[in-house]
Structure 1
Amino acid sequence: MKIVLFSLLLAALAANAAWAVPLSDFPEQEYSRFVQYTDENGLQKTIDLEEEVDEDLLDSLDSYIDRCVLFTRENPSEGQNLEMNNVESILSSNFDPNAPTVVVVHGWLGNQDSGMNTQVREAFLSKGPANVIAVDWRSLAVSGYVTATRGVPEAGRQLGRFLAFLNKVANAPYEKMHLVGFSLGAHLVGNAGRELGGKVARVTGLDPTGLLWNLNSNRISRNDGQYVEGIHTDGGLSASLGIGYAIGDADFFPNGGNSQPGCLTNFCNHNRAWRFFASTITHDHLVGRQCSNYLQVTLGTCRGQNLNMGNSDLNKTGSGLYRMRTRRFYPY
């Protein structure tokens, strides 16, 4: 049975109306051993949080990153493979160092053609010139959840080293890089940014997964980029898939951050993060209101300054907790 720590949280609320609970004191949600998960094709998978790590698989993979595929306005649908330590693969491609570089990373069970990668890529390319690099790490991502989790930090470091290579051979500036990851991919891009010393302009975590990650030191954090943003859509206490508290400089909690209009399942809530984000790239229309504490986030009583959620602004700044309301259907 899932253990939901309502009593402890209510005690914290009673003791501190601001709910300013330090992360070290925030209780990690406890899950039952088996968690149900639905993939993009509607197939239900069972996550066994106590399964053994497949060390043989991890040892057999030459790299945890299968490929990095470049899409630009010159090749919006047919990607070009960019290879680590292969200078020619970079120089012969359509990569433009003068354009922003957006790195998009799917989650567990995904691949470079996942809906998240496709919609975010199309949104950025419709906005203006960009180097959109879809990262495919399917060989690890399709393994058991615990095994994939074990490999994510190293996959992130490998991605970071690839971006350092891109910076060296193509003069791709870190201040024009935006790393975007969904679910497990959010922690992967966090580790990539950390490998680069937090130099990249932006890191966006789209409903970073909470399963085995709430208090994991390798999770995405505010030091992974110059500006780190979290978008939380399934961070509730009961059967949630995402982390329900701040992980970055600015953290957005659409509709309170745990139940989204038009959704009846946690998986639907979870996926709303990348759907919202893709929409903001095109429309830049979802505006959060700053909250003083988590209680205001929950009750929807935030009265602070405004900050747009998501979008493609490489020079974006901001800090704090934000909530906004969305609609049920695109553009939300």
Structure 2
Amino acid sequence: MTDMRLTLDQVEELALEALVSAGASRKQAVPVARSTRLAERDGIRSHGLMYIPVYAEHLRCGKVLGDAIPTVSHPRPGAIRVDAAYGFAHAAIDGGWPVFDAAVREQGVAAMAVSRSYNCGVLGHHAERLAEAGLVGLCFTNAPASMAPTGGTKAVIGTNPFALAVPDGSGGARLVIDQSASAIAKSEIILRARKGEAIEPGWALDADGNPTEDAEAALAGSMRPVGGQKGFGLGLTVEIFAAALSGGNLGMEASPFSGPKGGPPGTGQFFIGFDPGAFSGDGFGTAMAQLAEAITDQEGARLPGARRAANRAQTLREGVVVDAALMDRIKTA
């Protein structure tokens, strides 16, 4: 088999077929396939088609329940709770979204907690979804433990990203901040290990707590927090929101997002939406325009999320190249 060039529609259909074939209901599979499309569109390959064989494996071994039906509750005006029932996070998030959106608009601010969940794909896409609706989105998700505290050697929390997106007033996002608490996303180390490539200095520690550039040793050890203690503090903040506050498993309790061992990870997500009109009215848009201009007016500087926007334009022109080995893994997943 040779490498293939796919349109985004074909990427989504390929992902959907593989997920349904592996045992996911269409209600579970459709939002994951859409998430895969968005990841490939933005050039975030580690969360795109590369992940489909992992999803399929987890459907077959029971780490993700393909027939899960999320349940949504609304215990207080500004609080929405979604039990993912060990299905994909994407379906649970979609299930609670209409109630969440309405609550933000009614209250000015509201939060949605998702528990007994799983990897939610690119976190920034959920924040951007809020921004596209004219809202400010702040999102958290925790992950299986892979990062030790500064000075320690035992992993306590995951890479634990957070994302923030603000509206541009025209149905899009002015900027999207999407970053993990680790020096690099764990998916990048997994990708390097698969290719037999070394990782960069400062990314990870081996099982004995020593710096390593060996990807396999890094996967057996722990990720390094970005900025040392400050990065670990950021990851701990995410853990509090996405796990302790949502009712999801702590990273220490969650099974890995890779491999068949363990039951469902049961991790969590936490989303906060703000209607800027409830706080500063038109002043928010004016302030954000000034802030963005102060960045973009500087030569060589760019707004967070600008690279993804550029990737989108390129993908729409050129499509997505899928190498033969990955296509084979997807077809046989």
State the TM-score, normalized to the length of structure 2.
Answer: 0.29
State the TM-score, normalized to the length of structure 1.
Answer: 0.29
Q: Relative CO higher for 1 or 2, CA cutoff 8 Å, sep ≥ 6? A: 2
